[in-house]
Structures are given as structure tokens and as C-alpha cells.
Amino acid sequence: MNDTVIFEHQLRILRSDYEHMLAKAFTILTAVFVFFVTFLMGTQLSISYIWEIMKRPVGPLTGFFCQFTIMPLIAYALAKTILPADDKALQFSLFAAGCSPGGGKSSFWTIIFNGNLDLSVSMTLTQTIGAMGKTR
């Protein structure tokens, strides 16, 4: 007995040549902008200051503890309390996001809010290495 139901739907997307060209130009300009901003961020780093931070890693270790202990606990609690109980995929997605290291985007926010970029990069480095070590 076969209860399989097959639905066929057609979806047509119409886009003019102008819209295609505009989307392509936007993609290229965005890539160039991100490359340029990342390059400028790299020019602001001080390797000697990063080395000093790594010699006494209070900030990176605090961030590491919060990233891999506090954030997953908060994400789990939020997933269980505010999301529907029958939507396990959404709960798991929130938990997985809470377990993931911050990455390079945090450095952009650090620059925007005039924070300590060297500390942000040091924390990103330790969290990324820690995340790789935790997967084994």
C-alpha cells in the first residue's frame, strides 16, 4: 500500500537584465568593501600587544569560559523556555548557535564601538582554536 502523495508546483522567477546587472554589481561591490575593511582592520593590529595579552590571558580565558560554558547554558535554557516544545529543529538551531565561537564579525563590532581590537582578535583566536580542539 503506497500512501505517497506527490505535489508538483512550478515557480517562475522573472528578472530583467537590468536587475541581474544590478545584483551582480552589488555582489562585487560588497566583496570589495568587505576585503577593504578587513585589510584596514589588519593594519590596526599590534602584534606586540597581542603577544602581551597572550602572556597574561585573563581576557581570552574569560571569553573562552563564557563562550563554551555560559552561552550554551543560556541558549539551552532559552530554547527550552521560549520556543515551542514540538519544534526540536528550531531548539537545536538556537543551541548550536549558542555553542559556536564568535568569529571575525565581532572584530567589526569592536571597531564600530571603539573597543580593544587586539583583545577581540586574541579572544577570537583562542575561541577558534578551542572550538577545533573540542570537536575531537
C-beta of residue 97 within 8 angstroms of C-beta of residue 76: no
pLDDT confidence tier of residue 136, bands split at 50, 70 and 90 = low
Per-residue pLDDT for 1 more than 70? Answer: no
What percent of the chain clears pLDDT 90, i.e. is strictly above it? 24
State which amino acid sits at residue 124: T
pLDDT confidence tier of residue 92, bands split at 50, 70 and 90 = very high
A 10 A CB-CB count for 36 gives: 10
Query: Cβ neighbours of residue 91 under 8 Å, at least 6 residues apart?
Result: 79, 80, 83
Mean pLDDT of the chain: 85
What percent of the chain clears pLDDT 70, i.e. is strictly above it? 94
Task: Identify the pLDDT of residue 43.
Answer: 80
- Give the pTM: 0.59
C-beta of residue 69 within 8 angstroms of C-beta of residue 93: no
Q: Which residues of 100-127 are buried (b: 16+ CB within 10 A; e: fewer)?
A: ebbeeebbeebeeeeeebbbbbbbbebb
The pLDDT tens digits for 34-58 are 888 888 877 878 888 888 888 888 8
Q: State which of 8-22, 66-80, 95-109, 117-131 shows the largest mean pLDDT.
A: 66-80
